[in-house]
Structures are given as structure tokens and as C-alpha cells.
Amino acid sequence: MAGNKFPSNMTWKTAMEIPALGRPFHLGTPYDRLSDPDSSGGDSKESEVRIVLVGITGSGKSATGNTILDNEEFESKYSGGSVTKVCRKARGTWNGRDISVLDTPGIFDTNTPEKENLKEIAHFMTLSSPGPHALLLVLQVGRFTKEEKAAIEGLYKILGAKAVNFLIIVFTRKEDLREQSLGEYLTTIDDSYFKELLEKCKNRCCAFDNNASGGQRRA
């Protein structure tokens, strides 16, 4: 994401309806209506790019949201549990576009009580209505665990398998790569589930150093 731009392949021309909690939920309204030749314009809601951060507790979702917005909108600190207790949305601009970023608590964690999960899933759907343009799966460099696999399956359960079409993998702790490129690092992940996931989301991924400043945060 160098140069403050989303990947060019984040534009989708058609909307897809997928079932979630028993009611229609939209994924895939066009990311960039200005660059979409089939677009005939839209209202202010459609001009805003809606981003949802997903991942397990401790992956760096809140810090990543702050990096995207270039502002400390979400509480982010080292903690033994989830700092974010409820879904929270913040707004800003990126490359001249209005964006909203939704930070989710551990609703995709396997150890979150079901009743609490359902409450926050409903909250998540309300705040991201009429549906996100991009789902950012936040992972830490050097870690891909069974809990994260379970979280991905939980995402599919809520939004449907087609959610992978809107998935972008974001690695935090980019600084741990040192001299290694992200592409080189990806080849070292010897996990068939991850390789299949990367293929399904068409290799959309990037790395953030959330402790850096300015453009050095993103790669």
C-alpha cells in the first residue's frame, strides 16, 4: 500500500447479497466509483469506502486502524486480553477518499462467549451497513495459528464463503521482516490452509509497521 493507495484490484463492479444472521447483507458495492466505467454515480454513502478489521485478539487490529486513518482513533496497547470490547467505527480520508474503519473486538475468537458474540455480530452488521467494501484480515508476522484459522472460518460463517473475494491480508510487525521482503516472507509460510487462503484472495496482502511514522508504516 505504498503511496497511500489501495490495491487497484479493490474495485468490484457488481454487488453480491449473502445471508448473514437471517437477513440480506451486501458485500461488493464498487470501491472506487470514479474509476469504474460502468458506474453512473451514487449517493454520499456509496462514496465512502467502508473497511472492516477482522482477526483474533492481539493481532494488532486497533493499531492498524490507527495507521490507516493516520490518527489515534482506537485504543491500542499491549494487553493479555482484547482492548477493544465493542465494535467501534471511525472516519477519515485516504488518498482524497472518505473512508470509515470498523474495529471489531474478539468476535472471531473461539473463546468468546456465544451470547456476547451474537450481540457484537449484530452491532458489527449495523455499523458496517450497507456492507463493507474491504475486509482486512490482520495477522502478525511470524504467526499463523489454529485460532486464526478458526477465526477465518467464523468470518465465512457470518458473511458467507464469498467474503474471501473482499479479503485483504494485513501483516503487522513489518519491522520483524528486517531485510526480508513481504514476498520472500510469504514463501516461508509452510501451511496449506494459508496458501489456499492467499490464492483465494488473489494474493492481496500488505505489511504494516504500526510503530513507524508516515509512509514507513506501510509496505
Query: Does 189 score more than 90 pLDDT?
Result: yes
The three cell numbers locating residue 8: 487497484
Mean local confidence (pLDDT), 60-71: 88
2-11, 41-50, 209-218 — which is least confidently predicted? Answer: 2-11
10-46 residue pLDDT tens: 222 222 232 333 333 444 443 333 233 333 344 444 5
Residue 94 pairs with which residues in a beta bridge? 97
Q: Which residues pair with 12 in a beta bridge?
A: none
Q: What is the pLDDT of residue 74?
A: 85
What confidence tens digit (pLDDT) does each residue in 137-159 have? 999 998 899 988 988 888 888 77
Q: Band of the pLDDT at 188, cuts 50, 70, 90?
A: very high
Taking only the tens place, the pLDDT of each residue in 102-118 is 888 766 666 666 666 66
Question: Cα separation of 27 and 147, whole Å?
Answer: 25
Reduced to 3 states (helix: H, G, I; strand: E, B; else coil), residue 85 is coil
Q: Among 65-69, 155-159, 171-175, which stretch is predicted with the lowest mean pLDDT? A: 155-159
- 218 - beta bridge partners? 208
Q: Residue 12 in 3-state DSSP?
A: coil
Flag whether pLDDT at 97 surpasses 70.
yes
The distance from CA 114 to its chain's CA centroid, rounded to whole angstroms, is: 22
Residues 186 and 37: their CA atoms lie apart, in Å, by: 34
The whole-chain average pLDDT of the chain stands at 72
Residue at grid coordinates 473486538: 105
Helix (H, G, I), strand (E, B) or coil at 115: helix
Three-state SS at 193:
helix
Read off the pLDDT of residues 42-56 as tens digits, 9 standing for 90 and up. Answer: 444 457 888 889 888
**Residue 139, SS3 per DSSP:** strand
Instruction: State yes or no: cis peptide before 132, omega within 30 of 0.
Output: no
**Is residue 7 helix, strand or coil?**
coil
Rounded CA separation 35/46 (Å):
13
Domains, the chain, with CATH or none: 13-18+46-207 (3.40.50.300)
Residue among 10, 29, 3 nearest 136 (CA): 10
